[in-house]
Chains A and B, each alone.
Chain A
Amino acid sequence: MNFPKSTDVIIIGGGLVGCSVGYQLAKRGRDVIILEMRNLASGASGRNGGMVTQLDGRDKNKEAILNRLNYTRENNKMLAGLAEELSYDFEYNRCGGIDIACSEEEWEYFKKLVPFQKEVGDEEVILVDKQQLKDLCSLLSDIVWGARYRPTDGTLNPFKLNIGFALAAKKYKAKVFTETKIEKIVIKHGTAIGVETNNGYIQANLIINAANAWAPLLIPEIDILPLRQVAVVTERIPELPVYSFEAIIDRQVIFGSTQQKSGNLLVGGLGTQARKREDHYKEDLSPYEIEGSTAIFNILFKGLGDVNIIRSWAGTMAFTADGLPCIGPIPQIQGLYIVAGFSNGMAFAPIIGKLVAEDLTQGKPSITLKPFNPERFYNKKISWPDSYNYTVLAEFLERK
């Protein structure tokens, strides 16, 4: 395939968001080119737990809760029919998700938080005590006090979802170029007119930055923070009654899930060392981080001590100052749009792709994208902690 000189829409980033937006735009008749500096799903899209968690975080803030649930609930509906729409099975499993309290303090907090959630319109969430939790998942150890349980959360195979979107986009004539790094977005008289890449220059009418954690390297006016997480995955284990889950162990936020189709159990987060901003792009990992994440198996579960870990990795997701993504046109510049800043991509990316395409083709998305307006961060300096990890940031946002 020859490298093109011009197109209608350029999407920067071949991750889940870029491919989701690319698919929806191509389906609506736009000429789309997706440019990816590495390979599809090389960033956070291929390095996460595949968890579909509709409400991450434990904040007690009505507006913030609804700003997430309004989209993630629609996303869940969409996921149900998406495999058929894409003609691609991405192993979606609505197995349920649990946010586990591992201390009395957390449990007491949950007892207030869950009624609050219900009051503001989150009817699905269920408070389960220790016994009920163990009935749900008999593998859990005695560290648990109870959980917030959401039966409609689940897991999926993030690689397959990413690739499913890319293949479907190609069916609508979208082109995907991997190993194509954007050196620069070219702006002339206040209008974005094209991109310089390592493979040459492409002119475009519209440029969409969907590079998530890498987005601020091209548009520094919007402060999106890279956030490195680590994970380890076990060999296949048969019939594991595990859900997508989150917990706090030793004051650190941990996460995990199981790809039920293959039976591998994935966990991460414990022992992730705080690093400076530029170090959050590094995908190497220290033995202490592997040791930390591996320890989760013995802390949170019973009887998994002899299960082998077969892979470990680090990946970089994005974080914003209010935990919500940035979606919309960049102020002051024509033809430049951003869809980045996701820290919970599986629960957002499919629906967001649809809404963005509606916004860009019909001028009006079926659900407003206002809460994500990038203007809220435009040229605002945020005093992020100098050295951080997920836990430090969650405390920074008081969303742990």
Chain B
Amino acid sequence: MEEVMVVGGGPAGLCAAIESARYGVKVILIDENDMPGGQLFKQIHRFFGSAQHRAGIRGYDIGNSLLSESEKLGVRVLLNTVVWGIFQDNFLGIKTEKETKILQAKKIVVGTGALENPLAFPGWTLPGVMGAGAAQTMMNIQRVLPGKRILMIGSGNVGLIVSYQLLQAGAKVVALVEALPKISGYLVHAAKISRAGVQILTSHTIVKADGKGEVKKAVIAKIDENFKMIKGTEKEIKVDLVCIAVGLRPLDELCWMAGCQFTYIPSLGGFIPLHSRDMETTVSGIYVAGDVSGIEEASTAIEEGKLAGIAIAESLGYISKKEAEEKKELSWESLRELRLGSFGEGRQKTKDLILKQYNSLHKM
């Protein structure tokens, strides 16, 4: 039996692996891509926050430093490997490039991240309509510019940041539409693209995308307070790429399969596996960290991963309860700080709610 298997090599999974390996736990990290790091290597922008949260550092630099740390600590990394199931008694089904295998682990960390929400409108299946995250992967990882004239849908941080990166890569963002009456993401990002000449249209939506075989144009329109289109406000714009940035949802299939209990919190992305302060789910020995435990950001994913890693090292007897408590306190404190302010407070409340529900289950 393996000691720990971490599913997903993004910031959460990497930090869970690093943190438990640091105390001597034998860790296998599995990622379906040909390189770990998750979204970090797409994130060419500098992070916000305090120095402790790696503010000012770009995502890919964080990714590189986590990779070299995990390597130093002897984390075994299986790449191009898919975890196709979690079963009773912590069995995992995995598929490598060569074979299918079934492994068992004392502890499992699910750090599978999130999936972009789709948006359906006439023409949404045309080539040239894609998630903003997908566009970011093409641009920053594969170095392919996915379009020249872009309509961005959604003014959350993903929509704003990807718009800016598209500009940097030489594309023109013709418009950014947002259904709500105000911008959803950080204003500092919005200001940046505004200064670069992108028109941000709040209370606007896409009506349709059009084109023969690929997107050639899109129609946008103004909407009223009930999100109904206002007739006569339709405007046709010439674009070859429609980017959808209307939120993420946890990639939680493995947790469902494992039998974890869930709660429904729309602001965190929908169904969220209940978890303890140590990030353990209702299935003993299965932990979650990062976006799968509620959509937040890389810096919170890092802290959650650390918590899971420390808690695992503790429960496997590699560090004392006292030492673990001290280490965990640092991460809890960090998470509290990261969840301050107008964008964070709501998340703190919902995370507290998850904890409350988890605890009430475990008192029974």
Residue A75 at the B interface, CB < 8 A? no
Within A91-111, the residues touching B (CB, 8 Å) are: none
Whether the pair A288, B100 counts as a contact (CB closer than 8 A) is no
A291 to B92, CA, bound (A): 12
Within A281-298, the residues touching B (CB, 8 Å) are: 284, 286-288, 290-291, 294
Closest to A284 in B: B88
A217 to B87, CA, bound (A): 29
A294 to B92, CA, bound (A): 16
Residue B74 at the A interface, CB < 8 A? no
Interface SS of chain B: strand
Whether the pair B100, A291 counts as a contact (CB closer than 8 A) is yes
Residue B93 at the A interface, CB < 8 A? yes
Closest to B104 in A: A287
Interface core residue of A287, A288, A290, A291 (most chain B CB under 10 Å): A287
Residues on the A chain within 8 Å of B102, using CB: 287-288, 291
Residues on the A chain within 8 Å of B100, using CB: 291, 294
Residues on the B chain within 8 Å of A284, using CB: 88
Q: How far is the CB of A299 from chain B (nearest CB, A)?
A: 13
Residue B185 at the A interface, CB < 8 A? no
Whether the pair A290, B85 counts as a contact (CB closer than 8 A) is yes
Residues on the B chain within 8 Å of A288, using CB: 102
B59-98 toward A: CB 8 Å interface, digit per residue (1/0)? Answer: 0000000000000000000000000110110011100000
A286 to B86, CA, bound (A): 10
A41 to B92, CA, bound (A): 30
Q: Which residues of A contact B (CB under 8 A)?
A: 284, 286-288, 290-291, 294, 309
Q: How far is the CB of A350 from chain B (nearest CB, A)?
A: 35
Q: How far is the CB of A286 from chain B (nearest CB, A)?
A: 6
Residues on the A chain within 8 Å of B87, using CB: 286-287
Chain B: residues with Cβ within 8 Å of the partner, total of 9
Q: Which residues of B contact A (CB under 8 A)?
A: 84-85, 87-88, 91-93, 100, 102
Whether the pair A290, B93 counts as a contact (CB closer than 8 A) is yes
Residues on the A chain within 8 Å of B92, using CB: 287
Whether the pair A291, B88 counts as a contact (CB closer than 8 A) is no
A309 to B100, CA, bound (A): 12
Among all A-B residue pairs, the 7 with the closest Cβ atoms: A287-B93, A287-B102, A287-B87, A287-B91, A291-B100, A287-B85, A286-B87
Residues on the B chain within 8 Å of A286, using CB: 87-88, 91
Interface core residue of B87, B88, B91, B92 (most chain A CB under 10 Å): B87
Closest to A309 in B: B84
Residues on the A chain within 8 Å of B93, using CB: 287, 290-291
A287 to B258, CA, bound (A): 12
A101 to B359, CA, bound (A): 57
A286 to B85, CA, bound (A): 10
Q: How far is the CB of B1 from chain A (nearest CB, A)?
A: 14
19 A-B pairs with CB atoms under 8 Å apart are A284-B88, A286-B87, A286-B88, A286-B91, A287-B85, A287-B87, A287-B91, A287-B92, A287-B93, A287-B102, A288-B102, A290-B84, A290-B85, A290-B93, A291-B93, A291-B100, A291-B102, A294-B100, A309-B84
Q: How far is the CB of A148 from chain B (nearest CB, A)?
A: 31
A290 to B84, CA, bound (A): 10
A312 to B16, CA, bound (A): 30
User: What would 7 more interface pairs be, CB under 8 Å, given A286-B87, A290-B84, A291-B93?
Assistant: A286-B88, A287-B87, A287-B102, A288-B102, A290-B93, A291-B102, A309-B84
Closest to A289 in B: B87
Closest to A294 in B: B100
Interface core residue of B84, B88, B91, B92 (most chain A CB under 10 Å): B84
A54 to B88, CA, bound (A): 38
Closest to B85 in A: A287
Closest to B93 in A: A287
A291 to B99, CA, bound (A): 11
Q: How far is the CB of A293 from chain B (nearest CB, A)?
A: 11
A109 to B119, CA, bound (A): 58
Q: How far is the CB of B358 from chain A (nearest CB, A)?
A: 24
Residues on the B chain within 8 Å of A290, using CB: 84-85, 93
Q: How far is the CB of B188 from chain A (nearest CB, A)?
A: 42
Closest to B100 in A: A291
Q: How far is the CB of B226 from chain A (nearest CB, A)?
A: 33
Residues on the A chain within 8 Å of B91, using CB: 286-287
Residues on the B chain within 8 Å of A294, using CB: 100
Residues on the A chain within 8 Å of B85, using CB: 287, 290
Q: How far is the CB of B98 from chain A (nearest CB, A)?
A: 11
Interface core residue of B88, B91, B92, B93 (most chain A CB under 10 Å): B93
Interface core residue of B85, B88, B92 (most chain A CB under 10 Å): B85
Q: How far is the CB of B216 from chain A (nearest CB, A)?
A: 29
A290 to B91, CA, bound (A): 13
